[in-house]
């Protein structure tokens, strides 16, 4: 399914880019052109970005536990 009609970007392309390391709308725009013309796709692209990050991000959340940062390291 096309998420961005103006740039012919599918949900599959967005998921693939996120799985390859993209984490923001700015990266989706830079790499695929998502949201760079009419902008109507931005809400759907953001939702897809969030959903895909939630699927791939749990590993990151476990790698950096909040307890590692003490009040001495926060300026
Ligand atoms: S639908 Fe994505 S910029 Fe128009």
Confidence (pLDDT) at 44 = 98
Instruction: With 0.85 as the threshold, say if the pTM is over it.
Output: no
Confidence (pLDDT) at 40 = 98
Confidence (pLDDT) at 69 = 45
Query: For ligand 1, is residue 44 a contact (CB within 6 Å)?
Result: no
Residue-range domains of the chain with CATH:
2-68 (1.10.10.1100)
Confidence (pLDDT) at 5 = 98
Query: 52-57: long-range contacts (C-beta < 8 A, 24 or more apart)?
Result: 52/14, 52/15, 52/18, 52/19, 53/18, 53/23, 56/18, 56/19
Spatial distance between the Cα atoms of 67 and 17, rounded to a whole number of angstroms: 31
Name the residue of 37, 44, 45 whose CB sits within 8 Å of the most ligand 1 atoms, as the mutation to test its pocket. 37
Confidence (pLDDT) at 56 = 86
Confidence (pLDDT) at 59 = 54
Mean pLDDT score across all residues of the chain: 84
Task: Flag residues of the chain having pLDDT under 70.
Answer: 57-75
Query: For ligand 1, is residue 40 a contact (CB within 6 Å)?
Result: yes
């Amino acid at each position: 399914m096309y998420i961005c009609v103006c740039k012919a970007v599918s949900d599959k392309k967005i998921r693939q880019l996120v799985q390859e390391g993209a984490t923001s709308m700015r990266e989706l725009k830079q790499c695929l052109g998502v949201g760079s013309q009419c902008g109507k796709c931005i809400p759907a692209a953001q939702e897809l970005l969030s959903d895909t990050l939630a699927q791939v991000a749990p590993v990151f959340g476990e790698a950096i536990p909040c307890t590692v940062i003490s009040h001495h390291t926060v300026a």
